[in-house]
Amino acid sequence: MKKGGSMCGLIGVVAEDGSVSVSEELYAGLWSLQHRGKESAGIVTYGGLQYRDRREMGTVDVVFRNNHLSELSGNAGIGHVRYSTAGASCPENVQPIEGVYRSTPFWIAHNGNLTNTRELRDECMRRGYFFRTTTDTEVIAALIYFNERYDFLDAVRSALSRIRGTYSLVLLYKDSVYGIRDSSGNRPLVYGERRGIRVIASESVACDVLGIPYVADFSAGMIRKITPGHAGALFPVSAGSVLQLPEAKKFCIFEYVYFSRPDARFDGRRVKAAQRQMGRNLWRESPVDADVVVPVLDSGKYAAEGFSRESGIPMEESLFRSHYVGRTFIEPLQERREKGMQIKFNPIAEEVSGKRVAVVDDSIVRATAAKKVTHLLRKAGAQEVHLRISSPPYRHPCYYGIDTYRIEGELIAKRHNGNIEEIRKEIGVDSLGYLSLAGLVRSILEVSGKKSQLRENNFCHACFSGEYHIRVFENGDGNE
């Protein structure tokens, strides 16, 4: 089944003034989240008692033009950008997805992966629900549809009580936007506001580009409802005292390593500062005799900076990166990934020729980039190529955020059972060093954050450690 969640970007915006249109805020905010998914983009707004939507395959700038934004009038709305690692993307799966509650439409967008969708989907179909998409997101919509005896909020909570897995959600029901974070706090979701406008988004950068102060991360297990006349009521996802609910318990550590923009903040901590600290600790754990530190841009840049500052080895951006080629890892097709890699990097020969080069990158998943970069540097005359990675070996598939269970056989660290020497040989570098898991967690905690609450055991690192906090099942979809 094609997943509807994965590593996606969410936004929800409400303006207090009913005559204000929020389409430009949704558009700009969504664009700032483009790195979280470029397969499709969608915006739905509500105003004047009606919904307006535009949802297409493609990047935000391709899907939305000026005339589209003026057509998307309304003072409340939600948006979504989507990514998946495998399988065909198709137009009917583009989010937000429409649902029906008591004969009234609502819209839902999802970041995460549900792990019990097959049984719930079968159940809903047996009860007569006609699915128009193959996403797990629509399973939540179907469960809300069958809860029409409740009010909308309770129908949502009842639906959430049936699902398992990870999710951050935004829902649009008439002029109200609901932001929801699951009780493990695995997927990010933040809230920002200034007088007259409120924003819910996957990353604080969406607030920044809109000039709206980022107030806080959503607490794990919380629903925030924002309406034109209300500053944002809070409700627990499940019954019980708000005060007794846990704070974010298993936040995806890969958000700090790779997913999020360096200028984003989670738990009050700046991603860029955490990445720099990873680089410092990487040098302490895995030093190397080198003449120059070269980052694999863009995601390896700040770790390389930290590595360079700590070691005293100068850093040069000697691998020019074309910004007209997007993040290759988030391309779903291998063939396209390899072509993308070829036109993405160009080494500056005079900066590396005859030198011992320490290349720093954030992670190795399939090793497509690592092999290509090594090849290019050697061709440019590098005397030695030493690879340093600011996270541990990516050995285990992710079932919660990025669907890597679909490419499990391609994970280089899994294929070599974590044997660093074998991985080194396959990539073809002179030496290879990874940051340890303890070093990664410490790097984040060493960065001071205003009001930060995440502690050592509050991170999901299953893709590095194999410690899954939500049960996963043999068939990958998580069905029992």
Is 362 annotated among the ligand-binding residues? yes
Does residue 252 interact with ligand SF4 by CB under 6 A? yes
Place of tokens 């070599």: 416
Q: With respect to ligand SF4, which residue has the nearer C-beta, 283 or 464? A: 464
In the complex, the smallest distance separating the C-beta of residue 252 from ligand SF4, rounded to whole angstroms, is 3
According to DSSP, the β-strands at 97-101 and 40-47 are unpaired
Residue 92: name the closest of 56, 124, 123 by CA: 56
Q: Quick check: 295 and 301 in contact, CB under 8 A?
A: yes
Per-residue contact string for residues 404-443; x = within reach of ligand SF4 by CB under 6 A: ----------------------------------------
Is 398 annotated among the ligand-binding residues? yes
Place of tokens 């029901």: 173
Q: With respect to ligand SF4, which residue has the nearer C-beta, 27 or 459? A: 459
Can you list the alpha helix ranges (DSSP code H) found in 127-171? 137-145, 152-162
Active site residue 207: no
In the complex, the smallest distance separating the C-beta of residue 398 from ligand SF4, rounded to whole angstroms, is 3
Looking from the CA of 468 toward its CB, the CA atoms found within 13 Å total 17
Residue 35: name the closest of 191, 206, 161 by CA: 206
Does residue 278 interact with ligand SF4 by CB under 6 A? no
Does residue 171 interact with ligand SF4 by CB under 6 A? no
Does residue 463 interact with ligand SF4 by CB under 6 A? yes
Stretch that binds ligand SF4, among 68-76, 170-178, 238-246, 400-408 (CB under 6 A): 400-408
Q: With respect to ligand SF4, which residue has the nearer C-beta, 108 or 398? A: 398
In the complex, the smallest distance separating the C-beta of residue 356 from ligand SF4, rounded to whole angstroms, is 32
In the complex, the smallest distance separating the C-beta of residue 250 from ligand SF4, rounded to whole angstroms, is 7
Does residue 254 interact with ligand SF4 by CB under 6 A? yes
Does residue 11 interact with ligand SF4 by CB under 6 A? no
Q: Which of 94, 319, 460, 470 binds ligand SF4 (CB under 6 A)?
A: 460
Q: Quick check: 477 and 1 in contact, CB under 8 A?
A: yes
C-alpha distances out from residue 182 to 249, 381, 418, Å: 10, 50, 31
Does residue 114 interact with ligand SF4 by CB under 6 A? no
Q: With respect to ligand SF4, which residue has the nearer C-beta, 210 or 472? A: 472
Find residue 41's DSSP bridge partners.
56, 81
Q: Quick check: 169 and 10 in contact, CB under 8 A?
A: yes
Distance CA(91)–CA(57), nearest Å, equals 6
Q: With respect to ligand SF4, which residue has the nearer C-beta, 186 or 204? A: 186
In the complex, the smallest distance separating the C-beta of residue 463 from ligand SF4, rounded to whole angstroms, is 3
In the complex, the smallest distance separating the C-beta of residue 187 from ligand SF4, rounded to whole angstroms, is 8
C-alpha distances out from residue 168 to 23, 28, 109, 111, 403, Å: 21, 20, 9, 5, 16
Q: Which of 6, 59, 186, 219 binds ligand SF4 (CB under 6 A)?
A: 186
Stretch that binds ligand SF4, among 15-23, 231-239, 399-407, 449-457 (CB under 6 A): 399-407
Stretch that binds ligand SF4, among 13-21, 39-47, 55-63, 252-260 (CB under 6 A): 252-260
What region does 186 belong to: left with phi over 0, alpha with psi -120 to 50, or beta?
alpha
Is 182 annotated among the ligand-binding residues? no
C-alpha distances out from residue 382 to 29, 178, 378, 425, Å: 41, 53, 5, 17
Looking from the CA of 98 toward its CB, the CA atoms found within 13 Å total 14
Place of tokens 């190529």: 385
Angle, alpha carbons 218-153-146 (nearest 5°): 125
Number of residues that bind ligand SF4 (CB under 6 A): 12
Q: Which of 253, 373, 376, 454 binds ligand SF4 (CB under 6 A)?
A: 253
Find residue 459's DSSP bridge partners.
251
What is the rounded end-to-end Cα distance, in angstroms, of the chain? 15
Catalytic (active-site) positions? 8
Residues annotated within the binding site for Mg(2+) are 299, 361-362
Residues that bind ligand SF4 (CB under 6 A): 186, 252-254, 398, 400-402, 460-463
Residues annotated within the binding site for [4Fe-4S] cluster are 252, 398, 460, 463
